Amino acid sequence: MKKLNKILMIGGLGLLAFSSCTLDEVGDLNGPTIENIIESSTRGDIQDLVGGVLNDMRIRLGTYYDDVGVIGREYYRFSSSDPRFTSDLLGKGAATLDNNTFYTTGPWGARYGTVKSANVILQAIPNTTPTYSAQELSAIQGFAKTIQAYELMLNLNLMYQNGIRVDVSDPQNLGPFLGYTESLGAISTLLDDAATDLSAGGSAFPFNMTDGFVDFNTPTTFREFNRGLAARVAMYEGDSAGVLSALGESFFDLAGDLNKGVYYEYSSNGGDLFNPMFFPENASTAGVRIVQPSFITDAETNDARVPNKTFLRDAPLTLDDLTGSYDVFRYETNVSSIPMIRNEELILLYAEANMVSNPGDAETAINVVRNAAGLGDVAPGSVDEDRIVYERRYSLYAEGHRWVDMRRFDRLSELPIDRVDDDVWVQFPIPATENQ
Amino acid sequence: MSKALSLKLFLFSLLFFPLTAVSQQITGTVTDGTNNQPLPGANVVVKGTSTGTTSDFDGNYIVNVSDYPVTLQFSLLGFESQEVVVEAAATVNVTLQESTTALSEVVITGLATSIKRSNAANSVSSISAEKLTGTTPPTTLDGALYGKFTGAIVSANSGAPGGGLSVKMRGITSIAGNSQPLYIVDGVYIDNSSIAAGLNTVSGAAAGGSASNQDNPTNRIADINPDDIENIEILKGASAAAIYGSRASAGVVIITTKRGKRGDTKINLTQSVGFTKAINLLGLRDYNEQRVEDSFGVDAVADFIDARDNGRLIDYEDELFGENGFINNTSISASGGGETTTFYAGISHLDEEGIVKRTGYEKTSIRLNLGQRITDNIKLDINSNYIRSSSDRGFFNNDNTGTTIGVSLTSTTPWLDLFPVNGVYPDNPTGASNVLQTRDLVTNNEKNSRFITGGSLNANLYKGEKSDLKLIVKAGLDTYTFVTRAIFPKILQFENPDNGGVGGVSAQGTTRVFNTNYSAFMVHNYTTDSDLNFRTQLGVTKENFDRDGILVTATGLVSGQTNLNLAANRNTVQNRLKQNDLGFFVQEELNYQDKFIATVGVRGDKSTNNVDVNKLFYYPKASLAVNVNNLGFWESEKINQLKLRVAYGEAGNFPFFGANTTIYTNTTIDGLSGITLVGQLGNEDIGPERQKELELGFDVGALNNRIGLEFTYYKKKVDDLIIQSSIEPSSGFTSKVVNVGNLENKGVEIALNATPYETDDFSWNTNVSYFKNQSEITKLNVPAFNTGAFGATLGTFRIEEGKSATQIVGISPDGVVVHGDAEADFQMSFQNSLRYKNFNLSFLFHWKKGGDNINLTSLLTDLNGTSHDYDTVDLDPAGAVGNGPYRLSQLGVSAAPFVEDASYLRLREIGLYYNFTDEVLKNILGGHLESIRVGFSGTNLINIFDYNSYDPEVSNFGSGGISTGVEVTPFPSSKRLMFNLSVGL
């Protein structure tokens, strides 16, 4: 009976202990929450958010370049594990672009991810401890908005006339899709706003950036990057005067290094990313990028841009009825930087904007680019759209321009068709998950 | 005289004539017919009254009887009942035989109680050790369940050694939430996680936008040793499992391990050896010069001719998957007990090679179960199990880098020479990796070290004539340290920096799990004068889950070293999970003379996974069983049981950890650290899923239960389905966890068991079961969405209101249309055991009719021109082009060629054994042996399917959610053939 009493007591106590129990919240153990970040950040947290934005800009970038590079017939993207690079993107047979597959949704979502991260910065900076000065606030805003505008522009490049959402600050209440022209206008306005903010941003950013911004890491120099982007957008808008005025405030320099610009950075550090556009020589069908043969055959003799950006394979490679002998070799190593915008493009924009109004200036600019490629000057007075298209094709190879250029010049029909039933797409469908 | 009156008189007589009563006692001993040991706990009841008792630990009983003659009924769960007519006070010894028919089993209906199967209101499937492991030794516990339970679909995710199975009961129960059942072993909640080894770093499988883990890890229920199991019971839906509340929505598997019995120590030694072999290899394409030129270009033709003429065409599929893996399985167990203590101790060791070199599975399990009688009324049980397992799983499934053996094989042509020369593997000139090098040098190992222990204390607090009160306290602990090592040496073709590799990868993960569960119950029994029995139980439960995983991925390995500190770069990811649940449970069972058995109960649960952690969610249940045969107006010689039953219950599924928060994770770029949103928008309003199940059925037993039929119809609704809904990506988020709608499963389960023939020399026992399930998304608050595969071009699952939850859609010339459904039309299993003298033959056929897979393996081989049926013309409706070109021509046009019927008929298990006769045993080793059994057995020896790959039973995405049945170059599945010897001492 003694034992029984003991048991009874233990059981009774147990029951009592259970019934008085309440649970304590566990919280999220795996990361800071967005509410904490917005409501109570330190200046150090803002630095981390900026680091995050610079990182986010690189997410799915490889897919973006493949999308525009393959459709723009700059190269083939072979894959032994995913057929859609050589079927859907090239419009093989009856294949079309799918609105719910990674090549549509991946880059699109990633760019908006950056936009969101930048929006969080904008929401968080008024609430930090210690607080930021008005100048510092302005500088951060200018940074964040410039990045947002750039990211939106990349998505608009994919969607073209399908348009994009510009107002996305509230996930529960997203703004409408705007048409192409309206979207471009909104991006242009955002860049202008940012430029104004940067002008009022004092002499230094209250955060550090990567080496990709080494020449553009103060509000003043960062504004030159902003204006470079504005020049590109103005050209998309067909506004030559706007291009020239923006170039005037940008880092455009006819005598300068063609590669001066803003870059995505890569490294082999743990947790960092490798350059998704680096491909080893003689790679296999598993993931090789093969130069579309016309890039080689259409080139002027001795155009140094061809050997600089391609590599003659030991043997040609065939997949899915596509064959090529050259690898894309735009980057030397898997940690090489990828340009967002660089002086060579600005010089070409300058040439294009002056083509009609100031042919002489256009010629000068074109010759700068040609001479750098080991080619002689163009015949005087010969700079026309064909010339612009050619130089842009070779100067900006595999940097995401060819398809966009051919589209805005209304020359998509000139892109080579490799297989009888292939198609050249004009634009991507709006991702299914946008519920449009 | 009315019964009530006679009872009162009886009680009266007990009170006033105690001496007379004593003189009218019946006493005796109840013995177990199988071992002639005393049988404790047997019920002894005076027929037609509520007077009775149970036998004590020595099998002794005493019953007071006032009026002779009486009929005594002796019964015990698991034994055939017996009736004895007693003319006068005397000693009556009874021997009970173990029951062979299902109807006399017991099933567990409460957290602390069980009920006779003949009184159960649910169709509860249970199988014994004999059926679980008796036919052939299984590799893993879940692998032993194939085809043995109606309504439960067990399927393997791949053929890789060491498990990786999915168990689904009565259809899909959740889309994003947990869809695997809860496993409970001797009262201990068993963790069944699948933990990825970080292969994705190399394969890049998830880079294509698929967030699912395609590492194909094992699930941890594989650790439980099937040899230790006495009985498994499956609660398939909420109507039976409501007592498990918020963890029961996917069903509950209740496992009871073996226990010692009082008496001489029995030792059993089992040794099995055998081999495993691929069940189905596809073979080579029928190459010729023209075909090689068409598919691989002119340059390849010379290589082809050269290789062919020199007899050097190599079947790399056979080279990789053609091995016979050796299997060696040893187990020893001992059980027995004395006056107060009983024990079962078992140790087993399993060592199994895979069909691919350097793959395999090894497991050692040690178990000690102790039972201690503290007093006549208090019993303590402690069960402990230590497991050490290790599996080498190779590098398979989907990738985006051409590096897994599976994907790489699709582009490996037979004229390539990939064999090492002096230990140096040549680079594959046409692919990213050399499959032989990958096989020989890549390590993908999982090791687990696990300790599971549980204790239960049963105390009879009070025992009277009419009522008794019991206290049951249980505690359980499940803890393990799981270590993964994925090593990709620098020398591999795709790791070599000269080929653009990152200089080797060493991904090492450690996950620590520490889960505990506690419960305490009071069970009160009360029988009224009119023989109405009330059983009340009341209890509280608490479960704590704590998991902490660290995965370090290092690249740039230095001089062949794999230590993380010896690598150039490291990335560390830590993932923690913590959940505390608290619940209570009340249940009332009423039993009126075994005629009407009714149950009502409710479970209340709260959990830290909910937004409001202290909000209680209630899960009610109610059931009624009517034994028509006991009602009295039924007298049939042939039909000895007819039971009608109806049960209703609710169960839940709490949102997963972190569903309500939007969080950041760390990033780094060029030495600059940062934080980034993880892509999931937290939902502050997320609630649990709720499953409501109604089950109706009847059981018939005929010819003294030689024929039994169970018929069950169920309708199972899941409300507030949790999904990771895609949200507009322009929000900056890709998904949000939301309660979006309702799903309904309807199904029928029929089980027939019969002993058509039974004599001393020959007996035949057969079980046939049939089940089918149909699901429908009955409500969806978000637009229909695709999930669980690779997009509409290649076929994908689509959640859409009014449609099957498992429909497979894809593009077609008419837009996106339904191409199939993963749900089988029906499944059947045929279990037979035949005995002729000392020979036993048992076998189990499993037939899955219908149900489709998304098979992308042939697409990948087509793209590379290596499909075995590339030139066969039987798919093209025009009969013009070969299957390869035809499938390719449909790519981007229609997903139809990738959606394939995954029906199969297979001989899951077969075993033929001979039991040595006593005469022979007498002459061996001085007659000390009690039994010797020898025989052959096999698993999956016959496989019939018309499916264009290794096996229709496959899943690229593991066991989670609905996306099973997607195939991308898996580890081929295998069959096993074993020789078994079992010796009893």
Instruction: Decide if A287 and B402 are in contact by the 8 Å CB cutoff.
Output: yes
The encoded tokens of residue A225 equal 């990057």
- What mean pLDDT is reported for chain B? 86
How many C-alpha atoms does A113 have within 13 Å on its Cβ side? 27
CA pseudo-torsion sign A316, A318, A324, A330 = negative
B610-622 per-residue burial string, b: 16 or more CB within 10 A, e: under 16:
bbebeeebebebb
Chain A partners of B728 at a C-beta cutoff of 8 Å? 165, 171, 174, 433-435
Q: Which of B404, B492, B676 is the best substitution to test chain A (most A C-beta atoms within 10 A)?
A: B676
CB atoms within 10 A of CB B593: 17
ipTM for the complex?
Answer: 0.89
| For residue A5, pLDDT beyond 80 | no
Give the whole-number percent of chain A exceeding pLDDT 90: 79
Coil vs helix vs strand at B567: strand
Q: How far apart are CA B929 and CA B935, in angstroms?
A: 18
CA end-to-end span of chain A, whole Å? 75
Q: Dump pLDDT digits (tens) for B439-493.
A: 999 999 999 999 999 999 999 888 887 888 999 999 999 999 999 999 999 999 9
B183-202 mean pLDDT: 84
User: Given CB atoms, is B919 within the 8 Å cutoff of chain A?
Assistant: no
Which residue, among A13, A42, A67, A80, would best test binding to B if mutated, counting the most B CBs under 10 Å from its CB?
Answer: A80
Determine how many CB atoms are found less than 10 A away from the CB of residue B896. Answer: 18
| The amino acid at A154 | L
For residue B696, is pLDDT > 90? yes
pLDDT of res. B712: 95
Q: A156: closest CA among A351, A427, A361, A376?
A: A427
Does the pLDDT of residue B806 top 60, yes or no?
Answer: yes
Report the distance separating Cα A384 and Cα A366, nearest Å: 11
Q: Band of the pLDDT at B3, cuts 50, 70, 90? A: very low
Of chain B, the percentage scoring pLDDT greater than 90 comes to 43
Of B429, B658, B668, the CB nearest to A271: B668
**Residue range B75-94, pLDDT digits in tens:** 876 677 788 888 888 888 88
Local structure of A83: helix, strand or coil: helix
What's the pLDDT at A4?
Answer: 53
Whole-number average pLDDT of chain A: 92
Average pLDDT over residues A403-412: 97
CB B670 within 8 A of CB B641: no
Pick from B662, B652, B779: nearest CA to B178: B652
Handedness of CA B207, B211, B212, B216 (dihedral sign): positive
Phi, psi of B538 (to 5 degrees): -145, 130
CB contact under 8 A, A83 and B296: no
User: B675 to chain A: nearest residue by CA?
Assistant: A52
Burial B482-521 (b: 16+ CB within 10 A, else e): bbbbbbbbbbbbbbbeebbbbbbbbbbbbbebebbbbbbb
Examine the pLDDT at B585 and tell me if it is beyond 50. Answer: yes
Better-predicted residue by pLDDT, A306 or B658: A306
What's at B263, amino acid-wise? G
Q: What amino acid is encoded at A207 in this protein?
A: F
Among A5-9, A178-182, B228-232, B526-530, name the one with the lowest average pLDDT.
A5-9
Name which of B905, B898, B907 is nearest B945 in CA terms.
Answer: B905
Distance CA A433, CA B734 (A): 9
As a dihedral over the C-alpha atoms of residue B217, residue B223, residue B227, residue B232, rounded to 10 degrees, the angle is -90
Q: Cβ of B729 and A269 within 8 Å?
A: no
**Contact at CB, A101 and B791, closer than 8 angstroms:** yes
Answer whether A84 sits within 8 Å of B297, measured CB to CB: no
Answer for the pair A326, A310: CB distance below 8 angstroms, yes or no.
Answer: yes
Task: Grade residue B205 by pLDDT with cuts at 50, 70 and 90.
Answer: low
Sign of the CA dihedral with B176 first, then B180, B184, and B189 last:
negative
Tokens standing for residue B52: 């009775």
Q: Which chain B residues are within 8 Å of A320, Cβ to Cβ?
A: 863, 888
For residue B10, what pLDDT is reported?
A: 43
Distance between CA atoms of residues A429 and A105, nearest Å: 10
CA–CA gap between residue B167 and residue B195 (Å, rounded) = 17
Of all residues in chain A, the one with the smallest CA distance to B555 is A270
**Residue B598, pLDDT above cutoff 80:** yes
CB contact under 8 A, B892 and A211: no
Write a three-state SS string for B490-513.
CCCCCCCHHHCCCCCEEEEEEEEE
What is the average per-residue pLDDT within A298-302?
A: 95
Q: Which of A52, A88, A286 sits opposite B676 (nearest CB)?
A: A52
Q: Tell me: pLDDT of B197 over 80.
A: no
Please determine, for residue A37, whether its predicted confidence score (pLDDT) is greater than 80. Answer: yes
Question: What's the confidence (pLDDT) of residue A50?
Answer: 96
- Interface A-B, measured as beta-carbon pairs within 8 A, has a size of 335
Find the mean pLDDT for residues B520-542.
89
Chain B 782-841, residues with CB within 8 Å of chain A CB atoms: 783, 785-786, 790-793, 796, 811, 813
% of chain B residues with pLDDT over 70: 93
* pLDDT value of position B649: 93
In chain B, which residue's Cα lies nearest the Cα of A26? B608
User: A interface mutation test: which of B575, B730, B733 has the most A CBs within 10 A?
Assistant: B730
DSSP class per residue in B962-984: S--SEESS-PPPEEEEEEEEEEE
Rounded CA-CA distance B660/A166 in Å is 27
Shortest CA gap B897–chain A (Å): 14
DSSP state at residue B628: G
User: How close does chain A come to B738, measured CA to CA in Å?
Assistant: 13
Q: What is the mean pLDDT of residues A325-337?
A: 94
| pLDDT score of B144 more than 70 | yes
Distance CA B156, CA B170 (A): 17
Q: Is B615 on the interface with A (CB under 8 A)?
A: no
d(CA B904, CA B343): 43
Contact between chains at B663 and A211 (C-beta distance less than 8 A): no
The pLDDT of residue A8 is: 55
Distance from C-alpha of A223 to C-alpha of B688, rounded to nearest angstrom: 50
Give the residue on B whose Cα is nearest the Cα of A88: B892
Contact between B397 and B969 (Cβ < 8 Å): yes
Q: Enter the tokens of residue B17.
A: 């004539």
Contact B668, A269 (CB under 8 A): yes
Q: Does B100 touch chain A (CB under 8 A)?
A: no
What is the per-residue pLDDT for B20? 40
Is the Cβ of B101 closer than 8 Å to some Cβ of chain A? no
Which residues on B lie below 8 Å from A318 (Cβ)?
Answer: 296-297
Q: Which residues contact A133 (CB under 8 A, 6 or more apart)?
A: A202
Q: Could you give the residue ranges of the DSSP H alpha helices within B726-882?
A: 857-863
**Amino acid identity of A160?**
Y
Predicted confidence (pLDDT) at residue A3 exceeds the cutoff of 70: no
Nearest CA in chain B to A434: B728
What is the C-alpha separation between A183 and B850, in angstroms, rounded? 50
Q: What is the pLDDT of residue B169?
A: 87
A212 to chain B: which residues are within 8 Å by CB? Answer: 670
CB interface of A with B, residues 5-64, below 8 Å: 7-8, 10-11, 14-15, 18-19, 21-35, 37, 45, 47-56, 58
Is B85 in CB contact (< 8 Å) with chain A?
no
Yes or no, beta carbons of A286 and B403 under 8 Å apart: yes
Task: Give the fold, CATH level 3, of A33-277+398-416.
Answer: 1.25.40
Output the CA torsion B256→B262→B264→B268 (10° steps): 0
CB neighbours of residue B854 within 10 Å = 28
Hey, what are B985's tokens?
């001492």
User: Measured between CB atoms, which of A18, A117, A270 is closest to B676?
Assistant: A117
Record the pTM.
Answer: 0.81
pLDDT for the residue B475: 94
Optimal mutation site among A19, A60, A81, A290, interface B, most CBs of chain B within 10 A: A81
Distance from CA of A245 to the nearest CA of B (A): 31
How far, in whole angstroms, is CA B304 from its chain's centroid? 47
What is the 3-state composition of chain A as percent helix, strand, coil, each rounded to the nearest 5? Answer: 50, 10, 40
**CA separation for the pair B333, B270 (Å, rounded):** 9
Domains of chain B listed by start with CATH number: 3-99 (2.60.40.1120), 127-281+322-395+442-851+902-984 (2.40.170.20), 856-890 (no CATH)
More confident residue, B54 or B186: B186
Nearest-neighbour CA in chain A from B380: distance (Å): 11
- Cα(B69)–Cα(B894) distance, rounded to whole angstroms? 80
Segment A46-74 mean pLDDT: 96
Amino acid B575: pLDDT: 87
Average pLDDT over residues B491-502: 84
Check A28 against B663: CB less than 8 A apart.
Answer: yes
**Does B724 touch chain A if contact means CB atoms closer than 8 Å?**
no
Model pLDDT, residue B148: 83
At residue A389, what is the residue type? V
Task: Report chain A residues whose CB lies below 8 A from the CB of B202.
Answer: none
Bond into A380 cis (ω within 30): no
Domain boundaries, chain A: 33-277+398-416
Determine the pLDDT at residue B110: 65
What sign results for the dihedral spanned by CA atoms B675, B680, B686, B689?
Answer: negative
Is B565 part of the contact surface with chain A (CB cutoff 8 Å)?
A: no
Q: Which amino acid is at B320?
A: L
CB contacts, 8 Å: B786 with chain A: 100, 432
For Cα atoms A405, A408, A414, give the angle at the middle one, nearest 5 degrees.
70
With CA atoms as reference, report the closest residue to B752 among B714, B702, B695: B702
Q: Give yes or no for residue A175 having a pLDDT over 80.
A: yes
Cα gap B797→B810, rounded to integer Å:
9
Instruction: Give the A window 68-97 contacts with B, CB below 8 Å.
Output: 79-84, 87-88, 92-96
Q: Cβ distance A87 to B892 under 8 Å?
A: yes
Give A375→chain B minimum CA distance, Å. Answer: 32
Neighbours of B9 (CB within 10 A): 13
First vs last C-alpha separation in chain B: 56
